[in-house]
Amino acid sequence: MGGAGRILRRRLISAIPVLIIVLLFTFLLLENASGDAVDAYLVSIGGGDASLRDSLRTQYGLDHSALWRLWLYATSVLKLDLGWSVAFDRPVLSLIMERLPNTLLLMGSATLLSFILGTALGIVAGAKPGSLLDRALSSVSLALYAVPGFWLGLVLVLVFAVKLRWLPTSGLETIASGKQGFARALDIARHLVLPVASLGLIYLGLFLRVMRSAMGEIWRMEFVSFAQSKGLSRARVVLRHVARNAALPLLTVLGLQSAMMLGGSVVIESVFAIPGFGRLAQEAVAGRDTPLLMGIILVSAVFVILVNLIVDLLYALLDPRIGAGEETA
């Protein structure tokens, strides 16, 4: 489909200046850090004299001018080298790549949960606007969306892990359990139930509201009246005519939500001690690890761009008016 290629090209081309701006701003921001990674490192080893600090600085290239360092950084990023993490003493990229899958697992599961349940409930609520069920679901979704994610996590831990002891309190899997294959997967799944629930329930509220509101808008459109005038079954009108069109704004929200969820994963991973990308951000902050923090922000930006690209392509797939171009029959 030519439309897909066009969308891909357009997105990628506009992504480049955006990434450059992200790079620039992040660099400028972290330049202003009071104290840098070397200072933090020195504090952690109990102090060091000036010569040690200077030699470390030279070793990590922190003694050059800002512009030079920016140039060095920009060019190395193009070679997929995101620098060296001072706090962890290893390449930033490999560190991120090691942690990213855990977060993707967490986020992916939470997105799946919130999207599927939220959309389904949104359709149910939107099928009969103004009904008791609709209003009840609207209230529930609002309450869910208002809950602070980290607090929900703590409450869930309290109820399910501490009081009921059904699920583990933290971590990604039982440490040193030696489990393999399916047993290991099950173990990880058990550990993920509460974090996924904490992250997912909140966005469930969001998707429910968006779907419901989109359907409310579409009910007013004339093609729905036309479908009803043809005497079609209610199910068909709701699903094939109303919901099918409501899927489009829903998809847009899916793209936006991915950025929000990545941010949300920072606190959730902190609450549940999951060794993921979000937790890494917190650790980078604690360790004043500038290269790591920059790498994290860059990778986040790339991630969000990719997700939005996929959403754009899906949109083109679902909306025949986009990308296909005009053809006259």
For position 313 contacting other proteins by CB under 8 A, the verdict is no
Per CB under 8 A, the list member of 104, 145, 184, 252 interacting with other proteins is: 145
Residue 65 or 229 having the CB closest to other proteins:
229
Minimum distance from residue 19 beta carbon to other proteins (Å): 8
- Which residues 43-102 are close enough to bind other proteins by CB under 8 A? none
Minimum distance from residue 308 beta carbon to other proteins (Å): 8
Q: Which residues contact 177 (CB under 8 A, 6 or more apart)?
A: 184, 187
91 forms beta bridges with 84
How many residues line the site for other proteins (CB under 8 A)? 74
126 within 8 A of 210, measured Cβ to Cβ: no
Q: What is the 3-state secondary structure (H, E, C) of 23-92?
A: HHHHHHHHHCCCCCHHHHHHHHCCCCCHHHHHHHHHHCCCCCCHHHHHHHHHHHHHCCCCCEECCCCEEH
Per CB under 8 A, the list member of 12, 29, 72, 136 interacting with other proteins is: 29
Per CB under 8 A, the list member of 52, 155, 167, 311 interacting with other proteins is: 155
Using the 8-state DSSP alphabet, how is residue 273 labeled?
Answer: T
CA distance 206 to 257: 9
Per CB under 8 A, the list member of 3, 6, 30, 98 interacting with other proteins is: 30
Minimum distance from residue 233 beta carbon to other proteins (Å): 7
Minimum distance from residue 204 beta carbon to other proteins (Å): 16
Q: Could you tell me where the beta strands, DSSP code E, fall in the chain?
A: 84-85, 90-91
Minimum distance from residue 46 beta carbon to other proteins (Å): 22
Residue 49 or 326 having the CB closest to other proteins:
326
The interface region with other proteins, picked from 57-65, 71-79, 93-101, 229-237 by CB under 8 A, is: 229-237
Residue 111 or 300 having the CB closest to other proteins:
300
**Residue window 233-272: x/- pattern of binding to other proteins, with contact defined by CB under 8 A:** x--x---xx--xx--x----------xx-xxx-xx--xx-
Residue showing tokens 């001018």 = 65
Write the DSSP string, 152-203.
HHHHHIIIIIIIS--S-SSSSS-TT----HHHHHHHHHHHHHHHHHHHHHHH
For position 1 contacting other proteins by CB under 8 A, the verdict is no
The interface region with other proteins, picked from 59-67, 75-83, 96-104, 143-151 by CB under 8 A, is: 143-151
For position 208 contacting other proteins by CB under 8 A, the verdict is no
For position 4 contacting other proteins by CB under 8 A, the verdict is no
Residue 189 or 236 having the CB closest to other proteins:
236
Q: Which residues contact 56 (CB under 8 A, 6 or more apart)?
A: 38, 41, 42, 48, 62
Q: Which residues contact 46 (CB under 8 A, 6 or more apart)?
A: none
Closest CA to 211 of 238, 246, 240: 246
The interface region with other proteins, picked from 47-55, 91-99, 108-116, 137-145 by CB under 8 A, is: 137-145
Minimum distance from residue 229 beta carbon to other proteins (Å): 4
Closest CA to 305 of 2, 17, 4: 17
Minimum distance from residue 101 beta carbon to other proteins (Å): 18
Using the 8-state DSSP alphabet, how is residue 321 labeled?
Answer: T
Q: Which residues contact 221 (CB under 8 A, 6 or more apart)?
A: 245
Residue 60 or 150 having the CB closest to other proteins:
150
